[in-house]
Amino acid sequence: MSVRPAIHANVEDCVENTLTRVGKRIGLAMPLGLGKPNRIANEFFRRARADRTIKLRILTGLTLERPRWNNGLEQRFLEPLAARIFGDYPDLAYATARRDGSLPPNVEVVEFFYPPASLLSNESAQQSYISANYTQVVRDLSALGVNVLGQLVAPHPDGEARYSLSCNTDLSLDLLDRLDAGRAAGGHIAFLGEVNRNLPYMGGEAEVEAARFDGLVESQRYTFDLYGPPNPAVSTADYMIAMHAACLIKDGGTLQLGIGAMADAVTYALQLRHQENEVFRKIVGAADLVDPRRAPVADWGGLEPFEQGLYASTEMLVAGYLELYRSGILKRAVYDDAGIQSAVDARGGGEYVDRALLESLLESGAVAEKLDAEGFSLLVRSGVFRDGLEFREGRIRTPDARVVPIDMSEIRSLDEVEKHCLGTTLRGGVIAHAGFFLGPRAFYDALSGMDVAERDLFRMTRISFVNQLYGDELLKRAQRRHARFLNTGLMATATGAIVSDGLEDGRVLSGVGGQYNFVAMAHALEDARSILMIRAVRMSDGDAVSNVVWNYGHTTIPRHLRDIVVTEYGIADLRGKRDDAVIDQMISIADSRFQDELVKRAIRAHKLPKSYRIPDRYRNNNPERLETLLSPYRNLGTTVTPGKPGKPKMFARFPYGTDYTDEEIVLGAALKALSAKLDTREFSFTDLSKLGSLVSAPKSAAPYLERLGLEDPQTISETIMQKAALFGLELIDAI
CATH number where 310 lies: 3.30.750.70
Closest CA to 521 of 513, 530, 511: 530
Is residue 630 domain-resident?
no
Residue 289: pLDDT band by 50, 70, 90 thresholds?
confident
Kindly calculate the radius of gyration of the chain based on its CA atoms and give it in whole angstroms: 28
Assess if residue 299 is contained within a domain: yes
Question: Is pLDDT at 646 greater than 60 in this prediction?
Answer: no
Task: Give the pairing type, strands 148-155 and 498-499.
Answer: unpaired
pLDDT at 204 > cutoff 50: yes
Based on the fold, state whether residues 704 and 569 are members of the same structural domain: no
Please compute the mean of the pLDDT values over residues 328-336 and round it to a whole number: 96
Task: Work out how many domains the chain is built from and give that number.
Answer: 5
509 and 524 share one domain:
yes
Instruction: Tell me 149's DSSP state.
Output: E
* Rounded Cα–Cα distance for residues 17 and 8 (Å): 10
End residue of a domain, out of 175, 195, 222:
222
Q: Which residues contact 44 (CB under 8 A, 6 or more apart)?
A: 15, 26, 28, 56, 58
User: What sign results for the dihedral spanned by CA atoms 36, 37, 41, 42?
Assistant: positive
Whether residues 253 and 346 share a domain: the answer is no
Q: What percent of the chain has pLDDT over 90?
A: 86
Are residues 364 and 245 part of one domain? no
Domain of 236, in residue numbers: 228-334+430-487
Residues in the chain: 735
Same domain, 580 and 668: no
| Residue 643 falls inside a structural domain | no
**pLDDT-derived band of residue 541, with 50, 70 and 90 as boundaries?**
confident
List pLDDT tens digits, range 238-256.
Answer: 999 999 999 999 999 999 9
The answer as to whether 170 is a domain residue is yes
- Report if residue 656 sits inside a domain: no
Residues 187 and 312 in one domain: no
650 in any annotated domain:
no
- In this structure, the answer to whether residues 112 and 61 fall within a common structural domain is yes
Average pLDDT over residues 408-427: 92
H/E segment holding residue 109:
strand 107-111
Say if residue 420's pLDDT is above 50. yes
Same domain, 106 and 160: yes
Q: Show which of 177, 200, 222 is a domain's final residue.
A: 222
Q: Residue 1's pLDDT is what?
A: 43
**70 and 178 housed in the same domain:** yes
pLDDT value of position 667: 96
Alpha carbon 75 to its chain centroid, in Å, reads 29
Which H or E run includes 16?
helix 11-22
Q: Are 189 and 231 in contact (CB under 8 A)?
A: no
Domain boundary among 400, 420, 440: 420
415 and 455 part of one domain: no
- 399: Cα separation from own chain's centroid: 47
Local confidence band at 647 (pLDDT 50, 70, 90 cut-offs) = low
Q: Report residue 194: phi and psi, to 5°.
A: -115, 115
Q: pLDDT at position 328, please?
A: 96
pLDDT surpassing 70 at residue 683:
no
Note whether 36 and 170 are within 8 A (CB): no
pLDDT at 692 over 90: no
- CATH number, position 58: 3.40.1080.10
pTM above 0.75, yes or no: yes
Does 493 reside within a domain? Answer: yes
Please give the Cα distance from 86 to 65 (Å, whole number): 10
Helical segments of 92-171, H only: 93-100, 123-128, 137-142
Note whether 389 and 449 are same-domain residues: no
The answer to the question of residue 305 being in a domain is: yes
Q: Are residues 462 and 603 in the same domain?
A: no
Would the pLDDT of 691 be above 60?
no
Q: Taking all residues of the chain, what is their mean pLDDT, rounded to a whole number?
A: 93
Given this model, what pLDDT does residue 687 score?
57
